[in-house]
Structure 1
């Protein structure tokens, strides 16, 4: 098993660390900046004796080292700065993602692609169109991270363990994301039963602004611990062919009455990528919220001028 991580910034390098410590695949860490992937890979290799992992990890500025990858994770791109929206990232990051997909696919034609670069819904759509691959082989980080944030906030609010929360956040990975209290459970009980409408709304709003809240604290950077953990969870499902259900940014072709758009929805991940898109029994209001979110993503996709 071989996994490539493109982008050796905070998210990519931390992801490489999480993956090599799982010791289930060789890792290639690639970045355009000379010395950064090489130095970080060397630093990580020097922990092998202490941690006991046996797989190889290499850092490079060349895609030659990525040849034959089973999974390619794209984290490359500029991060949000204070006051910057995900929408403002689209022009620069679209050029980056297009190039990365083309170069990666040229040497790893059978790979599954996981997109992390923001705005991730639009970047996943772009990667699909550029690659020409079937939709199950390209998907993006969205609901795993957003759900993790929601779970953390619920755990704080209700004084429970975050692991007792099964979150449900769908739609755009951005301002129009939709938190579904009826499908979010705490020890098996729906959040819609455990919290009143005002508290549900407050939790949803904090989740929507979860990334921006961290950017506000850091000033010169954005989140990377939770994002890298979320991607590692997705990679783990693919590597182990587990069929684990989680919410990811996926291309819809009729599901939820939506087509030709990428949105965060529940899927089951396995060795081939998306094994199944799970359709929840949304009521009219819940479905309307998802469709409104899809319109926000369509505006970003239109800006790509594909």
Structure 2
């Protein structure tokens, strides 16, 4: 409580380094799912320390962010969350990128049901969802939804379900990211990230995604000076 994701950077980077050093020794063939914040920097550190192939080190963020986004949309519209189909990309935090082109309610584009101003407010609440829960709990942080999201990912890997879900995956040429972990839609199976799905983004979505990638790069650069 009282700490932002970025406040956790130095502390959690050191913990991640220590833990992943042991993971490398004891479980060299593991698929690693990182949940610690700030997520995008922590998963980058985990891959660096383990030296595992990037597809076997994944960050849990997109599943959680999308679940929160779908929930808030359902609450706004008074419909079942089961009728909301949505996708978020980018970093896990204030720069996360909603994709209106991939968001619908019972097959109806969300932009036909909610005006842009209100949609932006819902996205902002989604980005601050973890902090909202911390504020309500007072003495802890969110754990139910992150645990459920992580369980979905574990099941996809263990049962080789080939699920298409958003995760923090290592992108090099994909989306022009250039060697960083960032939230993108992937096919998740027994080998970890089996494929990164490259979507055709609109001009505004591309700009927002690039802004998010730049924020992730800055975070990773800062982390390198602390660890």
Q: What TM-score, normalized by structure 2, do the two folds share?
A: 0.96
Task: Determine if contact 2:94/2:124 at 8 Å carries over to the other structure.
Answer: no
After TM superposition, give the deviation of residue 188 of structure 1 in Å: 2.0
For structure 1, which runs of at least 5 residues remain unmatched after alignment? 1-80
Q: Determine the structure 1 residue equivalent to 2:161.
A: 242
Check whether the contact 2:23–2:50 (CA below 8 A) recurs between aligned residues.
Answer: no
Determine if contact 1:242/1:270 at 8 Å carries over to the other structure: yes
Structure 2 equivalent of residue 162 of structure 1: 81
- Which residue of structure 1 lines up, in the alignment, with residue 152 of structure 2? 233
Deviations 1:156-177 (A, max 9, x none): 1111111221221111101111
1:99 and 1:163 map into 2 onto residues whose CA distance is 40
**Alpha-carbon distance between aligned partners in 2 of 1:262 and 1:196, rounded to the nearest angstrom:** 32
Q: Which structure's residues are more often helix, by fraction? A: 2
Which structure 2 residues correspond to residues 153-302 of structure 1 after superposition, within 5 A?
Answer: 153-302=72-221
Query: Following TM superposition, by how much is the alpha carbon of 1:194 offset from its aligned partner in structure 2, in angstroms?
Result: 2.2
Matched, 1:116 2:35: yes
Q: Which structure: larger Rg?
A: 1
Residue 144 of structure 1 corresponds to: 63
Query: Which digits, 9 at most, give the CA deviation of each residue in 1:94-146, with x for residues without a partner?
Result: 11111111101211111000000111100000111111111110010111000
Distance 2:107 2:47 in 1: 36
SS at match of 1:286: helix
Shift of 1:218: 1.0
Q: Which runs of 4+ in 1 moved over 3 A?
A: none
- Partner Cα separation in structure 2 for residue 141 and residue 154 of structure 1: 21
Q: Distance in 2 between matches of 1:190 and 1:115?
A: 32
Match of 1:41 in 2: none
Partner of 1:43: none
Query: Aligned-pair RMSD on alpha carbons?
Result: 1.1
Give the number of the structure with larger relative contact order, counting CA–CA contacts within 8 Å between residues 6 or more apart.
Answer: 2
Return the alpha-carbon distance in structure 1 between the equivalents of residues 72 and 17 of structure 2: 35
Q: Does 1:100 align with 2:19?
A: yes
Could you state the TM-score of these two structures normalised by the residue count of structure 1?
A: 0.72
- Deviation of the 1:282 alpha carbon: 0.1
Give, in whole Å, the separation in 1 of the partners of 2:187 and 2:104.
19
Aligned to 1:45: none
Aligned length: 225
